[in-house]
Structure 1
Amino acid sequence: MEPVRYKLIEFFIIFIVLPVSFAIPYPVILKFILGIIGFVYVIYVLLKIENNRFKIAPNLNWKRFWTETSIKLLIIAILTSVFVWFTDREMFFEVVINKPLLWLVILIVYSLFSVYPQELVYRTLYFQRYEQLFKSKKLFIFINAVVFSLAHTMFRNPLVHIITFLGGILFALTYNKTKSTLLVSIEHAIYGSWLFTVGMGNMLGFPS
């Protein structure tokens, strides 16, 4: 078993140093290289150290998942629709109406190449590797939401920090309940895709 100090340093680099560094102005290519190195390291840790086989659990409660996700999506849809309508009405469903092909492509690319890697790092790795460092499960989940929000520092937008913190709470609770990267990735993709669809994509880095 690795020393606690090693895991703390590893945690600090992966969840604090790298995300914050991406908000600092330096060559994008260097950021890309650092991001790739970090992600490759995460995959190595999950496969070789944590012995994760990335298998779909056979006993997933899909009915409960879809019911709970649909309820949460309905609440999110109402709140965000009202927000966009009153703060930036011109963007209300603008992309899906005027650029449907772009909308579809972005949703696919986002779900496969952004959401799933994020969930591997911020839920799978986080829960499997660092839970023993926390005595309180509530604090463990709270810190997960904090570092997930911190990962979006590059957008330099307080509202994005609030949204991603709340999203981090939801995703952490889902993973804590299901222990499924697949389910939490689907949930993440649904909520993120909705934000892009309703007109909040610009603040979250979606091209429009």
Structure 2
Amino acid sequence: MSTTTYKGIEFLIIFILLPISFAIDYSIKLKMGIGLIGFLYVIYVLLKVEKKKIKIAPDLKCQIFWKQTILKLVIIGILTFLFVWLTDNKSLFNVLLNKPKLWLFILFVYSFFSVYPQEIIYRTFYFERYKELFKNETLFIFLNAIIFSLGHIFFRNSLVIILTFLGGLLFATTYVKTQSTILVSIEHAIYGSWLFTVGMGAMLGFPT
């Protein structure tokens, strides 16, 4: 399971073939079953083969992380607010204002049952499993953003593809800096929750 050939085939199946297959119309139950098996495989490889643990970054890195995350959130907040206001102002903070209980429920489910598993797969597993195959860190990060974007191809929405690519660049960079699944999950949850809150939930697959 540690040879270059095995890892290459593994990468192709997990990050290319499976996401593309999820964009094809077939049983949602089968898709969920395949996804669960894939996630359990990732956990097994991380814990038993790579001997990795979920790590929390040192306090110093946490301080830097929060400063950078807040700054990026302000920029993202301004840009996305203007985008929704100009393109679909009826959706601006719609769920927060009209369905606050649904808003809270979705944020909880999204953060713990969507974001965290995604970060284990696309950041922790990806960077720990394949780092020896790539000598160029910039290329490694760029490829991560591409496959993260590809992982959302089932939405069949070009804006989602663009946003997840940009998000992939941010999250991959954060993971490389902090080496922390927890911190990158927090960052992912903050930005994703904001997009849902500001009114972009419908286009990003959130129940509204």
Structure 1 runs (4+) greater than 6 angstroms displaced: none
Distance 1:190 1:148, change over 3 A: same
User: Matched residues in 1 for 2:37 and 2:202: separation?
Assistant: 27
1:9 aligned partner: 9
2:83 aligned partner: 83
CA-CA distance at 1:107 after TM superposition: 0.4
Q: Secondary structure at the match of 1:52?
A: coil
1:35-54 CA deviation, whole Å, 9 max, x = no partner?
00000000000000111122
CA-CA distance at 1:57 after TM superposition: 4.3
Distance 1:13 1:60, change over 3 A: farther
1:153 aligned partner: 153
* TM-score, normalisation: structure 1: 0.97
1:8-59 CA deviation, whole Å, 9 max, x = no partner?
0000001011111111000000000000000000000000011112243455
User: Matched residues in 2 for 1:167 and 1:174: separation?
Assistant: 11
Q: Secondary structure at the match of 2:200?
A: coil
CA-CA distance at 1:155 after TM superposition: 0.5
1:75-130 CA deviation, whole Å, 9 max, x = no partner?
00000000000111110000000000000010011000000000000000000011
User: Matched residues in 2 for 1:164 and 1:136: separation?
Assistant: 22
User: Matched residues in 1 for 2:54 and 2:134: separation?
Assistant: 25
Listed as ranges, the matches of 1:54-133 within 5 Å are 54-59=54-59, 61-133=61-133
Given residue 148 of structure 1, which amino acid in structure 2 is its aligned partner?
F
Given residue 134 of structure 1, which amino acid in structure 2 is its aligned partner?
F
User: Matched residues in 2 for 1:59 and 1:4: separation?
Assistant: 36
Query: For structure 1, which segment, 95-104 or 60-69, has the greater mean C-alpha deviation from structure 2 after superposition?
Result: 60-69
* TM-score, normalisation: structure 2: 0.97
Given residue 190 of structure 1, which amino acid in structure 2 is its aligned partner?
I
Matched, 1:41 2:29: no
Percent of aligned positions that are identical: 65
1:25 aligned partner: 25
User: Matched residues in 1 for 2:125 and 2:56: separation?
Assistant: 16
2:201 aligned partner: 201
Matched, 1:190 2:190: yes
Q: Secondary structure at the match of 1:61?
A: helix
Q: Secondary structure at the match of 1:199?
A: helix
Instruction: Tell me if the contact between 2:148 and 2:165 (Cα under 8 Å) persists in the aligned partners.
Output: yes
Q: Which runs of 5+ in 2 are unaligned?
A: none
